Amino acid sequence: MFTCCCVLFASLIAAPLPVAEVPAPVLLFGGGDLPDTIRDQFLKLITDPARPLVVIADDDTTLDPWKSKNAIRVGPKSTDLKGIQNAGAIWVQVESIDPESPVISAVVEAHQKGTPVGGFPSLPLLSGVKIVSHALERNRVDELIQAIERQPGIVGLAIDTRTGLLIQKRELRVIGESYAVVCLSAGNRRPVSVQILKSGSTNDLYAIRRAAITRSQPPFPADKPLPPVVAKGTLIIGGGGGMPLEVWKRFIERAGGPDAMIVVIPTALDDPIPAEPGEIKILRKAGATNLKLLHTRDPKEADRPEFCAILREAKGVWFSGGRQWRFVDAFEGTLTEQLLRDVLKRDGVIGGSSAGASIQSEYMPRGSPVVNTIVMAEGYERGFGYLPGVAVDQHFFARKREKDLINLIKLRPQLIGIGIDEGCAIEVRGSELFVLGKSRTGILTVSNESPTPEVRMEEILVGERYDLVARRKVGGR
C-alpha cells in the first residue's frame, strides 16, 4: 500500500511552537458509520450537560445518533451562530466545509474558549497538521506523504473509516475499529516516517510536531559541532541519586560563596511543584543563604522580563531532576533561556542533576515526553548547549545505560558521550572536566583516525581530570 520508502516512527526542535496543548478536547472522525464507542467517548467530553450538543449538518437525519442528548442542528451555511456560541460540545458532520465560513469561525472560537469539538478532520483546529479521512480504506497515505513533502515542517495524520483520533491537551489516542497513521517527511538525516497506530495506542502530538519542524531545518547535531569548551563560568553536572555534600558545597563556592544569589529551577518535576523543592533544602544545608525559586510551564511567561528579572543578579542556577523535556517546553527560545546563558558570561555557575544534567549538553539524551527509555527522542534532542559537542546521560552505571550511549555515539560520532553515575558529578571549566563525589564517569569517543571507527569508553574516577578537546586524562587523583 505504501509506495514511498518508509520506516516505523518509533520516537518522538528546535523551533519553539506557539501552543503545546489544545485548549479543549478534539475528536477527529475518519468517516463512515459512527461507531457507538466513538459517539460515547465524545459524549463523555461534555462537562456542562445544561448546554446543548450542537451538530453541524445538512439535514436532521444526522441527529439520529445524538437523540439521547436532544441535540440541535445548525446548517453549514447558517448565519445564526447563537447555538454554536452556547454549545456544551460541537460535532461537525459535514465532510467538506469552507474553513473560512462563519460557522467554522464560530466553531474555532468556541473551541478556543474550551468547548469540545469533534467530527470530520477538515476542522482547522490543529496548526502544523494536515489530516485525511478514510485513510486505509481509500489508500490515501501515499497521497498524504506527497502533500507534506511539499510543506516542510507539517505533520500528516491519516484516520481510517470508523476510527477516531482523540486529542486531549497534548496526548493523541486512537479509538474505534481501525487505525490511524502518523507521517513525517524526510529530513535531518532521517527518511520518510510512517507510524501505524492501532485502536488504544497513544502518542504525544506536540513532540510529533516538533519532530516535523526539526526535519525541515539544517541537520542537528552539526557534522562538526563547536569544541567542547565552556568559554566562561563553570558547569556542575550531576548524575542523579543522592550526591555527597561536597558537590553542593563546590557549587556554592563557584557561585561566590554562601551569600551569593542562587536560583533553583524545579520545572522538570511533576506537578504539583513543592513550595520548597529538595534542591532548596539541601543547598540550604550546604550553607547557601540567598536562594530563589523560578518556575513556569508557560513559555510566554518565561519570555516576560518581570518573570526572569532575578536571573540578571544570579551568581548560580540549579536545574532540578525530573524530565528534561519540561525545561525545553518552558524555556526554549525565551528571554529566560537567554538570561541563563548570561549567568555563565558573568563567570557564574550553572548546575543540575539527572534531568538537570542532560539539559546542559548540546545533545540531550532521553528527551521523549512519552518514556525516558527512548535515548534519541526525535523532536527533543537539542539541549541548552552550555557544553557544546557533547551528549550527557545520567544514572549511567547504576541503571546500566552504557549500551544506550554507545549506540547514540555510533550514530552521532561527532559527539562526545559523557555518562555520569549516581552520586557522581563533573565540574567543567574551559575544556577540563573534573570528577567529584563518588563512583565514576564514562567518556565515550570515536577516533577520527581509525579506518573502522569504534566507540571507546574510558572511565574517569573521582579526583581525576580529563581534557575534552585533547580527549585524554590530564591529571591523577
User: Residue 222 carries which DSSP code?
Assistant: -
Find residue 223's DSSP bridge partners: none
Predicted pLDDT at 8: 25
pTM confidence score = 0.90
Predicted pLDDT at 60: 83
Closest CA to 209 of 96, 304, 131, 143: 131
Predicted pLDDT at 451: 66
Predicted pLDDT at 448: 66
The Cα 325–Cα 366 span in angstroms is 9
Amino acid at 344: L
CB 302 within 8 A of CB 330: yes
Predicted pLDDT at 450: 62
Predicted pLDDT at 477: 54
Predicted pLDDT at 121: 80
pLDDT along the chain (477 residues), means of 10: 30 49 95 93 91 90 80 90 94 85 93 94 87 93 95 95 96 96 96 96 95 95 96 97 96 98 98 96 97 96 97 98 97 97 98 98 96 94 98 98 97 97 98 97 85 88 97 81
Domains observed in the chain:
26-215 (3.40.50.880), 230-475 (3.40.50.880)
Predicted pLDDT at 193: 96
Predicted pLDDT at 18: 56
The Cα 470–Cα 385 span in angstroms is 20
CB 351 within 8 A of CB 317: yes
